[in-house]
Amino acid sequence: MVVVADTSVLLNLCRVQLEDLLPFLFGEVWIPPMVEHEFNRLSRMHSRFTGLQLPPWVKQGAGSSGSECLSRLGPR
């Protein structure tokens, strides 16, 4: 299964060190570029997220929204 994640899910799971739940539950995890941008901005600006990094298994799709990201993956 493929899932498109948003910033809040990734940030908060990373914060409690449970980010590996996403690929365990869903397989492929994709994000739009804006999610990466927001994740990086919040991990620099908010003390509760300081030092967090996107997990290496997150795949980035083109487009600014989750639906655009999914549409570029093609039919499954």
pLDDT tens across the length of the chain (76 residues): 889 999 999 999 999 999 999 999 999 999 999 999 999 999 999 999 999 999 999 999 865 555 655 565 555 5
* Residue 34 · residue 67 · CB < 8 Å: no
* Domain enclosing residue 34, as ranges: 2-73
pLDDT, position 44:
94
Order of all β-strands in the sheet with 2-4: 2-4, 28-31, 59-60
pLDDT, position 29:
95
pLDDT, position 61:
84
Residues in CB range of 15: below 8 A, 6 or more apart: 48, 49, 52
Q: How many domains does the chain have?
A: 1
